[in-house]
Amino acid sequence: MRFLALLKKEFRECLPWLLIAAIAFLVLGGLALRLMIQSGSTFSYPYRLPPGSAISTFRLTVHSPLITTGVWLFFISIVLGLALGIRQFFLPHFSRTWGFTIHRSINKLTILCAKLFVAAIAFIISLGIVWMVIYWYASLPEILPFPPEPRLFMEGWILIAMGFTVYLGTALAGLNKARWYTTKVFPLAFVLVIIVTTVSQWKLSTAFAVMLIGSLILLSQIIHTFLNREF
């Protein structure tokens, strides 16, 4: 019951951001796909192939019609991560409600878990479900000439996971009681390293592994800082 009360409270606080992200991605991502379909530029194959000619091999590598949708997903995911991190971990400091929050008849760790759990659910609900809908729509035979690669579905989840990593970095930055403000935001610099490392991977499993390891590093620090910091 206590945990449920915490979950409800955290969920209610995150709800506006969750809704904005879901609506923004549905509208912008879906619109981007519709525009690609309507413009006819759903593929960029070399359409001028005179018989007997050579072909630049790079013209045979094509972007999916979901290209702009992916960009929107990435940016909305990052913004959602920042927003949730600030809402859950910066705002209590500015509004000085940490004292009221911490003095509960519940473990400190449970309070933290409620925040993290709600944030994870927020990403899954707001972006994950919408992404599944968009991907399913793009896979319908009558929509695109050729269905998108199955791999893209997992790549979309990696982009969502990047946003969650940004959230963890922002959370740690909010909890950090660093002496200098620049070192306070170092977790975000580390998140940038994780994202760059992930983007340079070409295997899905390696990309997921990088995200997982980076997130675990951040999570361990979040737990340690939350349990030991002063409020």
CA nearest 106: which of 228, 222, 8, 2?
2
227 binds other proteins (CB under 8 A): yes
CA atoms within 13 A on the CB side of 194: 28
Please state the φ and ψ torsions of residue 52, each to the nearest 5 degrees: 85, 5
Question: Considering only 18-26, 30-38, 121-129, 143-151, which stretch makes contact with other proteins by CB under 8 A?
Answer: 143-151
Minimum gap (Å) between residue 121 Cβ and other proteins: 19
- Provide CB contacts within 8 A for 110, sequence distance 6+: 2, 3, 6
Residue 151 CA, distance from chain mean position: 18
In the bound state with other proteins, the residue whose beta carbon lies nearer, of 20 and 155, is 155
19 binds other proteins (CB under 8 A): no
Minimum gap (Å) between residue 65 Cβ and other proteins: 10
51 binds other proteins (CB under 8 A): yes
Calculate ∠ Cα 95-98-99, nearest 5°. 115
Binding-site size, other proteins (CB under 8 A): 88
Minimum gap (Å) between residue 16 Cβ and other proteins: 10
Q: Choose which of 35, 45, 129, 137 interacts with other proteins (CB under 8 A).
A: 45
Q: Choose which of 38, 40, 47, 181 interacts with other proteins (CB under 8 A).
A: 47
Q: Choose which of 20, 28, 37, 67 interacts with other proteins (CB under 8 A).
A: 67
Give me the helix-helix angle, 2-39 and 67-85, nearest 10°.
160
34 binds other proteins (CB under 8 A): no
Minimum gap (Å) between residue 224 Cβ and other proteins: 3
- Interface residues for other proteins in 156-195 (CB under 8 A)? 156, 158-159, 178-180, 183, 186-187, 189-190, 193
- Provide CB contacts within 8 A for 149, sequence distance 6+: 64
Question: Considering only 22-30, 32-40, 120-128, 200-208, which stretch makes contact with other proteins by CB under 8 A?
Answer: 200-208
CB count in 10 Å sphere of residue 163: 27
Q: With contact defined as beta carbons under 8 Å apart, do 110 and 194 qualify?
A: no
Minimum gap (Å) between residue 204 Cβ and other proteins: 7
- Interface residues for other proteins in 101-120 (CB under 8 A)? 102-107, 109
Give me the helix-helix angle, 186-199 and 150-175, nearest 10°.
170
